[in-house]
Structure 1
Amino acid sequence: MEIFNPVVITIYGAEQICASCVNLPSSKDTYEWLQAAISRKYPNQPFVIDYVDIMNPPDDEEKRQFAEKVIEEDLFYPVVVIGNQIVAEGNPNLKVIYAEMEKYGYK
């Protein structure tokens, strides 16, 4: 399966670590770690990774609404979203993220 459009991975998080996520890396650290890990796993296969601060969401309506959902539903952040699918909350598992990316044709 060929990849025609790069997968968009969105990390929703905040500077403050969520109360249930004590001793885990910050959302920003998780974003940087995922970016590096995915780049190593899928070299020369483009993807887009965005970070959204749930306390300061962008003007993009969809991202703003999802940021509100993270807060309202007390999701453990960072929340990792691929397409419209939540693939991780709190401490992301690379195998789960890779499996989701492979559904889009990544090898």
Structure 2
Amino acid sequence: MEIKVYGAAVTCPSCVGAPSSEETFSWLQAVLGRKYETALTFVYVDFEQATTDDSWVDALKDDEYFYPLVLLDGEMIDEGYVQLKKVTRAIDLKLDQSAK
């Protein structure tokens, strides 16, 4: 499973008091790495510096989403002030589906 976090060096203006995108990425790596025995791949994308053709980058630049934006295997699971419960719920659901 791939956890991809899109963010920027500057904290989202609408997310005052929230951790930075990079802090959120590091925190997710640490917590999820300890919680799950399954292989998780973590990717961080600074959408302001991104040069690739990526619809998520375009959407963030067009202010369609708050950042950090967290994806699980290409599906958005949380944005802005990221909550661990939402992320773990999405991972658990995916693990349950793959176990069937």
TM-score tier after normalising by the smaller chain length? 0.7 to 0.9
Q: Which residue of 2 aligns with 1:26?
A: 20
Q: Does 1:71 align with 2:65?
A: no
1:9 pairs with 2:3: yes
Q: Which runs of 5+ in 2 are unaligned?
A: none
Separation in structure 2 between the aligned mates of residue 84 and residue 29 of structure 1, nearest angstrom: 21
Aligned counterpart in structure 1 of residue 93 of structure 2, from 79, 83, 103: 103
Matched position secondary structure for 1:103: helix
Identity %: 31
Q: Which residue of 1 aligns with 2:32?
A: 38
Contact 1:52 1:58 (8 Å CA) reproduced? no
CA distance in 2: counterparts of 1:65 and 1:75, whole angstroms: 12
How far apart in 1 are the matches of 2:51 and 2:26? Answer: 19
- Name the residue aligned to 1:3: none
Q: Which runs of 4+ in 1 moved over 2 A?
A: none
- With normalisation by structure 2, the TM-score equals 0.86
**Count of aligned residue pairs for this structure pair:** 96
Give TM-score scaled by structure 1 length. Answer: 0.81
RMSD: 1.5
- Kindly provide the amino acid, as one letter, of the partner of residue 92 in structure 2: E
The gaps in structure 1 that reach 5 residues or longer are 1-6
What is the Cα deviation at residue 104 of structure 1? 2.1
